[in-house]
Amino acid sequence: MSLLKEKLTQVLPGQISEISKFVKENGDKVVSQVTIAQVYGGMRGVKGLVCDTSEVPPDKGLIIRGIELKDLTDKTPEEIFWLLLTSELPNETELKDLQNELDARSEVPQYVWDVIDAMPADSHPMAMFNTAVLVMQRESVFAKRYTEGMKKPEYWEATLEDSLNIIAKLPAIGAYVYRKRYNKGPRIEPKKGVDWSENYVHMLGLGDPNGDFSKLMRLYLNLHSDHEGGNVSAYSAATINSALSDLYYSLSGGLNGLAGPLHGLANQECLGWILDVMEKFGGVPSKEDLEKFAWDTLNSGKVIPGYGHAVLRVVDPRFVAFRAFGHQYLSDDPVFQTVDLVFNVVPEVLKQVQKIKDPWPNVDAGSGALLYHYGLKEFSYYTVLFSISRALGIAAQAVIARAYGLPITRPKSLPTKEYMKLVQG
Ligand code: CMX
């Protein structure tokens, strides 16, 4: 048995009995009221979901299992995955064991490469990546064991198996999508004995002479892993998984949501916006030029990508971490300098637009410039990186949900005329 499964076998029963006691004793307590504005406003702020892996207080940003992100930026994604699942960081032996598990499960079936090869050459990388996840559904341990009559208390174990099997393969799949989609040459075989992020960098084939790109990749795959339960990708995946559709179906579904320009795809849009600015002004713009460009974007009815958030009301700590990396490793890079200037100018512009609730940068505002610096210049690819990371959170949330025995998700909808009647009393 893997040390991760052993740990979960120890910690889950206590959490499950605490929750069942809590619900039994407090089942009729009211925790949220819903206004008509919220019904027609994407359910903003409506408390009605549970997510124990992480939380996002509007004034703080991401907290994973009680630890603020700023205290986790030096961790590897594997450590974050362990933390999301178990509420503790792994010790050295546990981490090594998890990395060995991932190594052992990393071989991607040949048919996945064949399916990617068969897709039109101009497919979006997200369509290629999500198709690859979905096509592997036939490997699902959960689906197989479910048809064999698996008992409900075992659902989480089968979901953990699917999680490890999928996560182990994502760097190779993501790297191949990159090489295939942008004609970078043949697939590169994984390396043995390196961590998840370094292996991904190796398989992308862009080179990493001093190891800095692998450092960025560790940070990138760490920072995008989880963002509580109500964002589009996490919520969609959890809803699909609640129907006991296995993790291949639910992860692929959630990642399709991540492919939207208001969610994960914003990181590709964001670098595009920065490069447009630089092209227009022949390099790093002046403050005045940038301010005008921002207003032109807004006045043309477009959003400024990388700014604003549905929940956050402060600078996203994930942006803070990327910016710190930029200052440490590439402060001379003009694209990064432009990102930094945008951070100084755009919030002041957005503050003047009354309807915008959060004028601050989100996770997508700076990451593209860093990837660009290390030679990953095809920004339509960036959401694939986000997906590889977000798979950690989606998988962890699914394991926990199945351990808690949460039922199928089924909120209530009403026609507009019924809401009108309700309001009229
Ligand atoms: N530029 C221009 N307008 C913006 C804006 C921005 N960066 N952020 C918000 N607004 C607008 C909204 O489009 C909305 O306008 P309408 O009422 O005309 O539709 C209005 O301000 C109110 O929006 P809000 O309540 O402040 O924000 P929402 O919760 O509705 O939306 C988000 C949040 C992220 C979709 C929005 O801020 C946005 O579109 N930002 C740019 C895209 C982006 O960076 N997305 C990545 C988010 C990170 C992630 O993936 O989770």
Q: Return the pLDDT at 269.
A: 87
Q: Return the pLDDT at 266.
A: 84
SS3 (DSSP) at 55: strand
Q: Is residue 318 part of a domain?
A: yes
The closest residue, in CA terms, to atom 48 on ligand 1 is 263
Bridge-based pairing of strands 54-55 and 63-64 is antiparallel
Q: Return the pLDDT at 203.
A: 98
Q: Is residue 204 part of a domain?
A: no
The closest residue, in CA terms, to atom 51 on ligand 1 is 263
Number of domains in the chain: 1
Q: Return the pLDDT at 41.
A: 97
Q: Is residue 5 part of a domain?
A: no
Cα–Cα separations (whole angstroms), residue 96 to 3, 75, 103, 107, 388: 10, 14, 10, 19, 20
Is the pLDDT at 378 greater than 90, yes or no?
A: yes
Atom index in ligand 1 nearest the CA of residue 310 equals 29
Q: Please tell me the distance between residue 312's alpha carbon and the centre of ligand 1 in angstroms.
A: 11
Q: Is residue 112 part of a domain?
A: no
Instruction: Of 136, 190, 202, give the one whose Cα is nearest residue 166.
Output: 136
Q: Return the pLDDT at 1.
A: 87
The closest residue, in CA terms, to atom 3 on ligand 1 is 303
Is the pLDDT at 265 greater than 90, yes or no?
A: no
The closest residue, in CA terms, to atom 47 on ligand 1 is 263
The dihedral over CA atoms of 413, 415, 421, 425, expressed in degrees to the nearest 10, equals 10
Atom index in ligand 1 nearest the CA of residue 358 equals 26
Q: Return the pLDDT at 249.
A: 98
Mean pLDDT, rounded, for 337-343: 97
Instruction: Of 340, 391, 382, give the one whose Cα is nearest residue 53.
Output: 391
Is the pLDDT at 382 greater than 90, yes or no?
A: yes
CATH number of the domain to which 313 belongs: 1.10.230.10
How many CA atoms within 13 Å lie on the side-chain side of 1? 11
Q: Is residue 398 part of a domain?
A: no
Mean pLDDT, rounded, for 7-16: 97
Q: Judge whether 364 counts as a catalytic residue.
A: yes
Ligand 1 neighbours, Cβ below 6 Å, are 231, 262-264, 266, 298, 303-310, 355-358, 362-364
Is the pLDDT at 425 greater than 90, yes or no?
A: no
Q: Is residue 174 part of a domain?
A: no
Going by pLDDT thresholds of 50, 70 and 90, the confidence category of residue 225 is: very high
Going by pLDDT thresholds of 50, 70 and 90, the confidence category of residue 353 is: very high
Task: Write out pLDDT tens, residues 280-327.
Answer: 999 999 999 999 999 999 999 999 999 999 999 999 999 999 999 999
Mean pLDDT, rounded, for 4-10: 98
Q: Is residue 355 part of a domain?
A: yes
CB neighbour list of residue 390: distance below 8 Å, 6 or more residues apart: 224, 225, 226, 233, 234, 254, 255, 258, 264
Fill in the amino acid letter for 186: P
Instruction: Of 103, 61, 70, 96, give the one whose Cα is nearest residue 82.
Output: 96
Is the pLDDT at 267 greater than 90, yes or no?
A: no
SS3 (DSSP) at 392: helix
Going by pLDDT thresholds of 50, 70 and 90, the confidence category of residue 174 is: very high
Mean pLDDT, rounded, for 191-208: 95
Distance CA 293, CA 296 (A): 5
Mean pLDDT, rounded, for 220-235: 98
Distance CA 167, CA 169 (A): 5
**Cα R_g (the chain), whole angstroms:** 22
Is the pLDDT at 355 greater than 90, yes or no?
A: yes
The dihedral over CA atoms of 232, 237, 242, 248, expressed in degrees to the nearest 10, equals 170
Going by pLDDT thresholds of 50, 70 and 90, the confidence category of residue 61 is: very high
To the nearest whole number, what is the mean pLDDT of the chain? 97
Distance CA 174, CA 224 (A): 15
Q: Return the pLDDT at 274.
A: 96
Q: Judge whether 263 counts as a catalytic residue.
A: yes
Mean pLDDT, rounded, for 94-123: 97
Domain that holds residue 282: 266-373
Buried b (16+ CB within 10 A) or exposed e, 252-272: bbbbbbbbeeebbbbbbbbbe
Atom index in ligand 1 nearest the CA of residue 41 equals 30
Question: Taking the complete model, does pTM exceed 0.85, yes or no?
Answer: yes
> What percentage of the chain exceeds 90 in pLDDT?
96
Is the pLDDT at 268 greater than 90, yes or no?
A: no
Q: Is residue 330 part of a domain?
A: yes
